[in-house]
């Protein structure tokens, strides 16, 4: 199949509406020397590290008798089945079959392309080879100075699309998160990646979608608290540039950058998705000011993400469409972009 095979013609796990894209398979620290079982893309998979330490993600069950390779061991850089000791290399090819020199041509498993970066193991879904490289976010590199980082991971009852389209919905900032602001929220779609160049190198143009959300300073009790913390401003700006299954985000107050954030997803099964957030809060070298700034932003990000969870966990299942308003144009633009990449899903069978 070509990269433009439609979802209707391709093999898609039941109940999933996933675009061809990069997804977080799991936090990298969860994979040591032993294989681990995981469920991803609605499929039972196994993750392991080869002789060089590189991660491999592939179907869990041995093509011989169906034993779980997650119960196997890594021997000489290959994954050995616990049942009959067939060994598979990182390409999924059986390279050793005890007792015989002839290895059946079908004794192979198709691995998912993987990258280890920013504390995660990422897996490509949707075609045999990635259609674009994993977007870079230099501020999340552990050895990069000027940032203090933290992570969140929440299991949700929502789809990937539901989680990601939330960023393009300015009205929910006021309605759900209760922002008391001095005027209306705004949204404009971005057309030039130079507007988000501080996030990192440009994302593949076909995969990229950007937007800018703005809102005025906080008022009421929220305004009083944020003024006390020194985090209020006349104007706040949230810039997002994303790929079909993730987003790079930056947050600005009166033109001063506050933090950069990665929003990524792990699709486990229909209506079961893990939302991953990694934030890099900017520092200035002034210890107590930086600590206050870090704690205030961490509290705000954590509180806002947890406010989303009850909605995610109780909304109607699936990627339904509803009644739209003119102010939903950001969500609609994202849904169109997302579905274009769903239609690129190639056959994994």
Output phi, psi for 43, to 5 deg: -120, 145
Alpha helices, H only, 167-249: 171-175, 220-229
Give the distance, in angstroms, between the CA of residue 31 and the centroid of all CA atoms in the same chain.
Answer: 18
Query: Mean pLDDT over all residues of the chain?
Result: 88
Give, for 45, the enclosing helix (H) or strand (E). Answer: strand 43-49
Select from 5, 6, 14, 10 the least CA-distant residue to 318: 14
pLDDT (average), residues 243-254: 94
Q: Sheet with 78-80: list strands edge to edge.
A: 73-75, 78-80, 87-88, 94-96
Beta-sheet strands, E only, within 84-196: 87-88, 94-96, 114-117, 120-125, 147-156, 186-190
Select from 343, 2, 304, 342 the least CA-distant residue to 178: 304
- The pLDDT tens digits for 164-205 are 999 999 888 777 776 677 678 889 999 999 999 999 999 999
- The pLDDT tens digits for 293-337 are 899 889 888 988 898 999 999 999 998 888 888 888 999 999 999
**240 near 210, Cβ under 8 Å?**
yes
Q: What is the pLDDT of residue 134?
A: 97
Residue 4, helix vs strand vs coil:
coil
Give percent above pLDDT 90 in the chain. Answer: 65
Q: What is the pLDDT of residue 1?
A: 34
Query: What are the structural domains, with CATH classification, of the chain?
Result: 21-125 (2.102.10.10), 141-342 (3.90.380.10)
Check pLDDT > 90 for residue 9: no
Q: What is the pLDDT of residue 293?
A: 84
- The pLDDT tens digits for 111-155 are 999 999 999 999 999 999 999 999 999 999 877 788 899 999 999
pLDDT (average), residues 36-52: 96
Select from 163, 237, 247 the least CA-distant residue to 200: 247
Give percent above pLDDT 70 in the chain. Answer: 89
């Amino acid at each position: 199949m070509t990269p433009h095979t439609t979802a209707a013609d391709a093999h898609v796990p039941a109940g999933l509406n996933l675009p061809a894209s990069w997804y977080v398979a799991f936090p990298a620290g969860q994979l040591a020397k032993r294989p681990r079982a995981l469920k991803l893309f609605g499929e039972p998979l196994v993750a392991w590290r080869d002789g060089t330490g590189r991660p491999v993600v592939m179907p869990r069950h041995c093509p011989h008798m169906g034993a779980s390779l997650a119960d196997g061991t890594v021997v000489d850089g290959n994954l050995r089945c616990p049942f009959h000791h067939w060994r598979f290399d990182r390409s999924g090819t059986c390279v050793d079959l005890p007792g015989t020199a002839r290895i059946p041509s079908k004794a192979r498993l198709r691995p998912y392309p993987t990258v280890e970066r920013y504390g995660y193991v990422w897996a490509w879904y949707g075609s045999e080879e990635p259609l674009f490289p994993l977007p870079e976010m230099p501020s999340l590199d552990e050895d990069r100075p000027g940032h203090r980082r933290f992570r969140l991971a929440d299991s949700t009852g929502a789809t990937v699309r539901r989680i990601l389209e939330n960023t393009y919905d300015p009205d929910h900032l006021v309605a759900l998160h209760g922002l008391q602001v001095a005027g209306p929220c705004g949204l404009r779609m971005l057309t030039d990646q130079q507007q988000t160049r501080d996030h990192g190198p440009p994302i593949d143009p076909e995969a990229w979608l950007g937007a800018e959300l703005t809102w005025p300073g906080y008022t009421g009790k929220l305004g009083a608290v944020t003024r006390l913390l020194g985090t209020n401003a006349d104007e706040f700006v949230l810039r997002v540039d994303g790929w079909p299954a993730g987003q790079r985000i930056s947050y600005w107050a009166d033109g001063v950058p506050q933090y950069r954030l990665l929003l990524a997803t792990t699709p486990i099964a229909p209506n079961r998705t893990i939302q991953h957030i990694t934030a890099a809060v900017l520092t200035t070298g002034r210890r107590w000011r930086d600590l206050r700034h870090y704690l205030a932003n961490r509290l705000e990000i954590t509180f806002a993400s947890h406010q989303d969870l009850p909605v995610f966990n109780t909304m109607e299942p699936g990627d339904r469409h509803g009644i739209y308003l003119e102010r939903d144009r950001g969500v609609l633009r994202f849904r169109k972009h997302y579905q274009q990449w769903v239609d690129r899903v190639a056959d994994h069978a």
